[in-house]
Amino acid sequence: MAVAGGWRPEQTHPEIAFLGRSNVGKSSLLNALVRRKAFARVSRTPGRTQEINFFEINGRFVFVDLPGYGYARVAKTKRHEWQSLIDAYLRRTSQLRGVVVLMDVRRDPSDDDLALLEYLAELEIPTLVVITKVDKLGKQAREEAVARILVTTGLDSEQVIPCSAHTGEGRAEVAGAIVDLLEAPPWQKPDDDQ
């Protein structure tokens, strides 16, 4: 497949970007969503740890796998690690339909997670939150954990989908929500409208 500017695929297909803390289960979710044969990694940015992977799915849309954040300790005064990752991507996409943010059911949302959600809301980017690894908790503990995440993030329960890449629970709901995102018009920077 042709690669524009040597770093990303041509922007011929709608794109969905995935973001979350390192180890949140992003690769596992991507693998659970897409049968291996159906996708091919088409391009990635140079660099070992900060690469962005682009997966073309069934020749119809692209999943953008942004690097996990929260691994390196970043000084308080420095910009959030995730912000430079997503900004680098946002500068060069005209095909974004939405962002999927992943959060581990066993962890309280971090300051990074919360700041990321706020940032996406400011930029008016349609955002879906997937709560990962729900198989790790029993029913009641899981309900409590999800409720806590909703309170901390201020999200409504319709905006989050509990999911397990291991059992497949929630997979169809996530896929359905992504299909809905894909049908929306491309995201544009709020400023571009003026």
Using CB under 6 A, list all residues that contact ligand GDP.
Answer: 20, 22-28, 68, 132-133, 135-136, 164-166
Closest to ligand GDP by CB, 123 vs 131, is 131
User: Hey, which bits of 109-148 come out as E strands?
Assistant: 127-132
* Token reading at 39: 């996708």
- Least distance (Å) from ligand GDP to the CB of residue 76? 24
- Least distance (Å) from ligand GDP to the CB of residue 39? 15
Closest to ligand GDP by CB, 14 vs 20, is 20
Nearest to 128 by CA among 103, 148, 101: 101
* Token reading at 64: 């953008």
Using CA atoms, how far apart are residues 7 and 5, in angstroms rounded to an integer?
Answer: 5
- Least distance (Å) from ligand GDP to the CB of residue 17? 14
- Least distance (Å) from ligand GDP to the CB of residue 90? 21
Closest to ligand GDP by CB, 69 vs 187, is 69
Sign of CA dihedral 85, 89, 91, 97: negative
Closest to ligand GDP by CB, 11 vs 106, is 106
The C-alpha R_g of the chain, in whole angstroms, comes to 16
